Structure 1
């Protein structure tokens, strides 16, 4: 299991995580819902190794074993859709397989600036979902996609969650309750998590 113990993250004049502890499940989707600015994205960045806490520790997780879908697509503009995926996967066949899953096989050789926002979002999703690892982090992963398309992509998240924990941050309540095994409510800063009954979990 992945254990977060007594984490502190602070910026000038603002404490985002303060003595924050949480144990993630071995698999399944843990959803987090809450207002912007309460510390949800900071938590994901700490788990991804993109930000270092000033105190505390994370046990059971190597930074290079984490994959993340950011709020921004973060595609490399000088690479085609296929090349953006191949850079992560290291395998052209796997890149093409994920393009097919995203219903974008015909866009393999198209550059990001020639793709719609929804198409760029699907490439970013494929990059995160297809990358092997011990933890998958999703920060508003379906932002900008219509409901019908989202429904076709949900099974890929659920399939990932059979083998590893998935931490899903979203403002979309229907999305959270469709995908999540458990949903926590976030408040802060500093970030505090509780379930609907107000229980503050150290372990889910």
Structure 2
């Protein structure tokens, strides 16, 4: 169990959140730009200080008298930037995190990157760099993996391949994963739970399967496409396109001109 109960003020902005994450959960932190998503992730990582409490698996990382620095927290961190050491080869980037050649080989083989083990980051594509960054973050087999919009600079196909790899590693290592994103496709592809931030506050926190089962249970013979998510009457809903008709997850129809295209993602309806 990870417990987060923090406050962080930047001038007129206040991040004030409280939630728990169960072992093995994959939780998305979503919301518009400026809602506090990255600040929250950096605070959990120990890269930004705040008031309040952060506890991870019975270890206090932060409270009134304690502050454990980032390098002593049992976590892995992957940002949207390519944070590899440019003067080290792919394999050396992993071995710098932990001297375990066997684990490094396994991770790179699973990521289809072992053939590039002697290559330097400047000679890799963006997607390849992020694969290596994820592998390096897993070298210490962290209990908690933090992902800060890791797909934001990648094309769709590359992002999908990296998403598949992350999901595979998440299951393999039983890692608790917290991912910041503003992309609805990533939320419903990877996460089991979605926490939505708005102006520093949690405005919704729900299980993904509960929403999908409810919204698709009356549509057993069609494929729905999740194209947007928004707040309607204070509740988070998903906007679907079903048989060229736009509907939201409570069954209410919406006008065509209300559509905000955030990408198309096909999902199988509930039987």
Q: Give TM class, smaller chain.
A: 0.7 to 0.9
Residue of structure 2 in register with 1:56 after alignment: 52
Distance 1:158 1:113 in 2: 26
* Alignment pair present for 1:192 and 2:202: yes
Q: Please, which of 105, 110, 116 is the counterpart of residue 101 of structure 1?
A: 110
User: Which structure would you say has the larger RCO, counting Cα contacts within 8 Å and 6 or more residues apart?
Assistant: 1
Over alpha carbons, which structure has the higher Rg?
2
TM-score, normalisation: structure 2: 0.64
What's the Cα RMSD here? 2.3
Distance 1:199 1:24 in 2: 21
Q: Is the 8 Å Cα contact of residues 40 and 191 (structure 1) preserved in structure 2?
A: no
Q: Is the 8 Å Cα contact of residues 16 and 38 (structure 1) preserved in structure 2?
A: no
Structure 1 unaligned residues grouped into runs of 5+? none
Q: Is the 8 Å Cα contact of residues 195 and 202 (structure 2) preserved in structure 1?
A: no
Q: Is the 8 Å Cα contact of residues 80 and 153 (structure 2) preserved in structure 1?
A: no
Flag the 1:155–1:114 CA change in 2: closer, same or farther, 3 A: closer
Q: Is the 8 Å Cα contact of residues 69 and 137 (structure 1) preserved in structure 2?
A: yes
Larger proportion of strand: 2
Residue of structure 2 in register with 1:15 after alignment: 13
CA offsets 1:38-96 (integer angstroms, 9 cap, x no match) = 1111111111111111x211123445211111111211111111100111132122222
Structure 2 unaligned residues grouped into runs of 5+? 62-71, 206-230, 237-271
TM-score, normalisation: structure 1: 0.83
Residue of structure 2 in register with 1:178 after alignment: 189
Distance 1:147 1:103 in 2: 18
Residue of structure 2 in register with 1:27 after alignment: 24
* Alignment pair present for 1:116 and 2:134: no
Distance 2:143 2:100 in 1: 20
Residue of structure 2 in register with 1:36 after alignment: 33
